[in-house]
Chains A and B, each alone.
Chain A
Amino acid sequence: MLSEEERERYARSLSILGEEGQQALRRGRVLVIGAGGVGSAALLYLAAAGVGTIAVADGDRVERSNLQRQIIHTADRLGENKARSAARAMAARNPGVQIRVIPEYVSSQTLPALARRYDFVIDGADGLETKLMISDSCVAAGVPFCHCGTQGLRFQVMTCLPGRSPCVRCAFGHPAGSVSGSTLGPACGCAGSVAAAEAIKYLTGRGELLTGRLFTADLMTMESRMVPLRRDPGCPACGASGQQ
């Protein structure tokens, strides 16, 4: 049962998700890796939506140069750990959600066990190697996750249900490198918002997930594409020779 306060707070969501959906969100547990540009948007929307338990992992500290895109942080929190700063913003947004702060970077050693404590993981981290590690760890743990990437005004998002849909290695083969440098805030906001929507859809069992396809868009040209993906039987992470 939802409380009167919850009914009021989530009135606009209830008309879309129903009480059952809102309760599913309250039971939901989501881990967001990285409280950067993508994580900022994802975390704020997850907290606002009423996802019951939200964990945020980040070992970095808030710097002034982060503030043009990492909208969860504020100028009065420069130098603070990003996971702690993000937690304060989420608590202010919605005191009804439980927030877990993991003020450190995750690794291939720590992530599989950590991921198993959550229903869904969002990759809001930087760099090719880290993104592949997150995909591999979630596949190993059997935990659904959303992969996000940004650069400039471009963003891309896909969701993986381990063992059932392509992972990041299936999607990109053996990428020799990544496109990186800097990103403008709106691209992070789009990716983080899509990732939050994927988590909400997964937790409530509604809509169509971005599985078996990668959504990519360029806000500079307003071109977008849905790239079909297939599971790679030879995938070292999720293929026949992999762990799934």
Chain B
Amino acid sequence: MEITVDGERKTYPRPLTVQEWMDLEQVRNQEVAIIHVNDRDIPPDRRKSTLLQEGDRLQLLYFLGDS
């Protein structure tokens, strides 16, 4: 499965849910504020049930806390 993460192409040997992808890439739930898949917001309670598809575009948004 090939997907695009923040503009970068990535390939995985099997289909993954959003949460499985986060676990695999060690993306921490408490740090990522928003995950968009193909411009649609996937809230935390839908990350385990949302299966990523070939060609999906993921965008991550963090709450930046410094100033």
A and B interact physically: yes
Interface residues contributed by chain B, number (CB under 8 Å): 20
A-contact bits for B2-29, CB 8 A (1 contact / 0 none): 0000110000000000000000000011
Interface of chain B, helix or strand or loop or mixed?
loop
- A39 near B67 with CB under 8 A, answer yes
Interface of chain A, helix or strand or loop or mixed?
mixed
Residues in chain A within 8 A of chain B (CB atoms)? 34, 36-39, 123-128, 131, 148-151, 154-156, 171-173, 175-183, 188, 191, 214, 216, 223, 225, 227-228
- B63 near A34 with CB under 8 A, answer no
* Total number of residue pairs linking A and B with CB closer than 8 Å: 82
Contact of A149 among B31, B34, B59, B64 (CB under 8 A): B64
- A172 near B67 with CB under 8 A, answer no
Task: Return 20 A-B CB contacts under 8 Å, by A number.
Answer: A38-B67, A128-B63, A149-B66, A151-B62, A154-B64, A172-B34, A173-B43, A173-B44, A175-B63, A176-B30, A176-B31, A178-B31, A179-B31, A179-B62, A179-B64, A179-B65, A180-B66, A181-B66, A188-B67, A223-B6
Known: A175-B33, A176-B29. A156 touches B64 (CB 8 A): yes
Contact of B67 among A36, A177, A179 (CB under 8 A): A36
